[in-house]
Amino acid sequence: MTKRRVVVALGGNAILSKDASAKAQQQALRNTAKYLVQFIENGDELIVSHGNGPQVGNLLLQQAAGSTDINPAMPLDTAVAMTQGSIGYWLQNALNEEIRKSGLDCSVATVITQVEVNPDDQAFTNPTKPIGPFYSKEDAEAQHAEHPEFTFVEDAGRGYRRVVPSPKPVNVTEADVVNKLVNVGIVPISVGGGGVPVVREGDRLVGREAVIDKDFASEKLAEQIDADLLIILTAVDYVFVNFNQPDQKALGEVTIDELRNYLDENQFAKGSMLPKVQATIDFVENTNGGKAVITSLENIDGFLANGDGTIISKSVVDAAK
């Protein structure tokens, strides 16, 4: 069996559902770990990334509610680092527990990861990244009245959420650290929440008020560490075109040119499937023979056993390999 280097990106919504308590999120991650450990059992080198949209939004609300002059709320980049640490702590323990149960010989380490962005990225003047809980229109208006500096938009038919700037990643600063951990048999948890957004000012890295999309950050990390496979997990087993229509179609093996045609048709929802599709195209295009997969957490065994899921390759020939 050929050993593959696999980056698996978990969504923040897969960690937190309706119950935002630490106990509920820890239990969700224990369930998640049962699926992820299959890659290690398969002989793959596993790197895990995760989102934090719900968690960082909730943390900001908690901070805003309790902020005082003596004990002020932390800035957004620091809140991203805080949720990297908390989710990494939970996931690291869950994976280590499942690894021990499976009799495997490896360990897990969380890397607090900084991701460089362009200070002139237009995203800083056009916030698009949804964070925090979903609201009804009335509740979103009430939140905006209480926090006029917040921007709320309707999110893919699921309700209203706060949006913040989401610049594109240009460099994962700890990619070399992640690479070294993988080389010695450690499973890294990296670019949590898309990584802490920073810009370089001389020899310093300075945080910015933003949340990087975890799919794009995971793609950049996978590219920098020469991953063979980028797997982006979502709520469905396959990417669909004409989604929720009578003629909807699941995509199995698909090329990046085919996906681009679907992008031109506006087939994928912003803030939902669109960034996942764009990130997989970037990875396949920018690597030599790399493939990408979009599927659900629950379908990992189906993917490993039968290749189920949407598998993105550079060409039809590559898909057949």
Predicted local distance difference test score (pLDDT) of residue 271:
72
Distances (CA, A) of 290 to 3, 8, 46, 249: 14, 14, 15, 25
18 is catalytic: no
In this prediction, residue 181 carries a pLDDT of 98
Among 53, 57, 195, 214, the active-site one is: 214
- For tokens 């396949």, name the residue: 284
pTM, to two decimals: 0.91
Q: What are the helix (H) ranges across 6-52?
A: 12-15, 22-41
Kindly name the residue from 276, 290, 291, 309 that is annotated as catalytic.
Answer: 276
What's the confidence (pLDDT) of residue 316?
A: 61
- Of 58, 59, 53, which is closest to residue 13 (Cα–Cα)? 53
Residue 137 among the catalytic residues: no
Average pLDDT over residues 156-161: 84
Mean pLDDT, range 279-283, rounded to an integer: 97
pLDDT band at residue 186 under the 50/70/90 scheme: very high
For residue range 288-314, list pLDDT tens digits in order.
Answer: 999 999 999 999 999 999 999 999 999
Query: Is pLDDT of 12 > 70?
Result: no
Residue 101 appears among annotated catalytic residues:
no
> In the Cβ-directed half-sphere of 134, how many Cα atoms lie within 13 Å?
12
pLDDT > 80? residue 319: no
DSSP code for 68: -
Give the three-class secondary structure for 242: coil
Residue spans of the domains in the chain: they are 1-113+169-227, 229-320
Q: Is 195 a catalytic residue?
A: no
Q: How far apart are CA 48 and CA 155, in angstroms?
A: 26
pLDDT tens per residue across span 221-261:
999 999 999 999 999 999 999 998 999 999 999 999 999 99
Asked if residue 20 has pLDDT above 90, the reply is no
51, 53, 57, 129: the active-site residue: 129
Amino acid at 31: N
CATH number of 1-113+169-227: 3.40.1160.10
- Tokens found for residue 285: 């295009």
CA dist 150 and 161 (Å) reads 10
Annotated catalytic residue 13: yes
Q: Which whole number is the average pLDDT over 54-62? A: 88
Please say whether the structural domain 229-320 has been given the CATH code 3.30.360.10.
Answer: no
Encoded amino acid at 4, one letter? R
- What is the reported pLDDT for 272? 83
Q: Which residues contact 315 (CB under 8 A, 6 or more apart)?
A: 255
Topology alike, domains 1-113+169-227 and 229-320: yes
CA–CA dist 295, 293 (Å, integer): 6
Which member of 13, 42, 93, 179 is catalytic? 13
pLDDT at 64: 83
Tens digits of residue pLDDT in 77-118: 999 999 999 999 999 999 999 999 999 999 999 999 999 999
**Average pLDDT score over the chain:** 93
Contact status, residue 14 vs residue 233, Cβ threshold 8 Å: yes
CA dihedral 310, 316, 320, 321 (to 10 degrees): -100
